[in-house]
Amino acid sequence: MTDRGAPGPRPYQEGRTLTVVPRLDGIDLSGTVRLHANECVLGPAPGVAEAAAAAAATAHRYADVTCAALRRAIAERHGLDPGRIVCGNGSEELLDLVGRAYARPGDEILFPAHSFIQFAIVAWRMGAAAVEAPLGPGFAVNVDALLDRVGPRTRVLFLANPNNPTGVEVPARDVRRLADALPAHVLLVLDGAYAEFAAPETGQQALALAAERPNVLVTRTFSKAYGMAAMRLGWAFGPAPVIRALDNLRGIGNVGGPAQAAGIAAMAAQGHVARVAAHASAERAWLSARLAAAGFAVIPSAANFVLARLPEGCALSGDAAVRRLAAAGYLVRANADYDLPDWLRITVGHRADMERLADRLAAIAGGGPDGDPGAT
């Protein structure tokens, strides 16, 4: 008998994983205030759930696998060519498709340090090297440091703008300088998951670059400002050959009918998006000031969350603080997986919830009863 080698698949090799909430076993999470996942506390626009429910009534039929009506709705809103849009099962799927289309073992995927963790995961999935460029003070993206690290094996440069978990926005002029200086063999992916919360010209310029350059792609999501995280809906806009590549690689029915209908309804409800963005802007300012007053170092945010470092002398790690807060009914995100073990990322929520959370955080920072590290 011929030796066919070991039976079964090769052993799975663990990669970097998403650890959104660290070790909370044993804590009852029902009814907790969710400020850990950058969800939209104002929910989806009126009419979105109804549109999804109406589409669910024909759940026995396959939905349009090309998402034509949804792409038209997105294109109309942003003044784009619908033929250069591809929809995804969340923008996460689109980032993954970028890796599958353009990265191979030995290639490099470049991004600023402390970028959205999926960029490293995409590289790992493809056997490509994840290359991080150092940041400037205050987690500012350093365009020159990024350009310095571009080499012949660099295939993709991911830039989340604003970035998660830092909340930092890269000014439009810096993004243009990066796009201008980037060699043609590198695809610049401008991840605009939080674009609606930032300066309007940041998002508009990203789309303009993707319209005119052969190597710029924009990804956007319905998960954040549109309040539709569970719908799993995102889209990408860019050069026709890049869109074709992603379109060929995606799952054929990657976006379900209820999600498509919900997306179309949401695009027509721009007043809601504006209200969500205004709420995030006002409330992140309040939360930032409150945390700073309690001794936290706070990074100015252009998104719907705030990144804050536990005060000097606080005996708790970020993970321990997250467990303490979860036991008290508040979920926030620890950031050890982002190499930021003393930092908490807190989503902007309802004021009353944030007031109570801020009191807890102040107690933790001050080493009060809630801050007693012995009780973890």
Ligand X SMILES: Cc1ncc(COP(=O)(O)O)c(C=O)c1O
Segment contacting ligand X (CB under 6 A): 47-55, 64-72, 90-98, 173-181? 90-98
- Tell me the closest approach of the beta carbon of residue 20 to ligand X, in angstroms: 9
Which two tokens mark 333?
Answer: 């995100």
- Tell me the closest approach of the beta carbon of residue 232 to ligand X, in angstroms: 7
- Tell me the closest approach of the beta carbon of residue 193 to ligand X, in angstroms: 3
* Nearest to ligand X of 143, 218 (CB atom): 218
Segment contacting ligand X (CB under 6 A): 59-67, 89-97, 235-243, 280-288? 89-97
- Tell me the closest approach of the beta carbon of residue 164 to ligand X, in angstroms: 3
User: Contacting ligand X (CB under 6 A), which of 44, 90, 167, 318?
Assistant: 90
- Tell me the closest approach of the beta carbon of residue 115 to ligand X, in angstroms: 8
* Nearest to ligand X of 195, 358 (CB atom): 195
Residues 6+ apart with CB under 8 A from 259: 52, 231, 232, 233
Q: Decide if residue 227 touches ligand X (CB under 6 A).
A: no
* Nearest to ligand X of 229, 297 (CB atom): 229
* Nearest to ligand X of 84, 333 (CB atom): 333
* Nearest to ligand X of 202, 223 (CB atom): 223
Dihedral of the alpha carbons of 262, 265, 268, 271, in degrees to the nearest 10: -70
- Tell me the closest approach of the beta carbon of residue 198 to ligand X, in angstroms: 12
Q: Which residue of this chain has its Cβ atom nearest to ligand X in the complex?
A: 90
Q: Decide if residue 170 touches ligand X (CB under 6 A).
A: no
- Tell me the closest approach of the beta carbon of residue 371 to ligand X, in angstroms: 29
Residues 187-226 that bind ligand X (CB under 6 A): 191, 193, 221, 223
Residues 148-167 that bind ligand X (CB under 6 A): 160, 164
Which two tokens mark 328?
Answer: 């008290």
* Nearest to ligand X of 116, 296 (CB atom): 116
Q: Decide if residue 92 touches ligand X (CB under 6 A).
A: yes
User: Contacting ligand X (CB under 6 A), which of 91, 202, 215, 288?
Assistant: 91
User: Contacting ligand X (CB under 6 A), which of 99, 167, 234, 349?
Assistant: 234
* Nearest to ligand X of 162, 257 (CB atom): 162
- Tell me the closest approach of the beta carbon of residue 90 to ligand X, in angstroms: 3
3-state secondary structure the chain: CCCCCCCCCCCCCCCCCCCCCCCCCCCCCCCCEECCCCCCCCCCCCCHHHHHHHHHCCCCCCCCCCCHHHHHHHHHHHCCCHHHEEEECCHHHHHHHHHHHHCCCCCEEEEECCCCCHHHHHHHHHCCEEEEECCCHHHCCCHHHHHHCCCCCEEEEEEECCCCCCCCCCCHHHHHHHHHHCCCCCEEEEECCCHHHCCHHHHHHHHHHHHHCCCEEEEEECCCCCCCHHHCCEEEECCHHHHHHHHHHCCCCCCCHHHHHHHHHHHCCHHHHHHHHHHHHHHHHHHHHHHHHCCCEEECCCCCEEEEECCCCCCCCHHHHHHHHHHCCEECEECHHHCCCCEEEEECCCHHHHHHHHHHHHHHHHCCHHHCHHHC
- Tell me the closest approach of the beta carbon of residue 368 to ligand X, in angstroms: 32
Spatial CA neighbour of 263 closest among 62, 89, 38: 89
Instruction: Return residues touching ligand X (CB under 6 A).
Output: 38, 90-92, 116, 160, 164, 191, 193, 221, 223, 229, 234
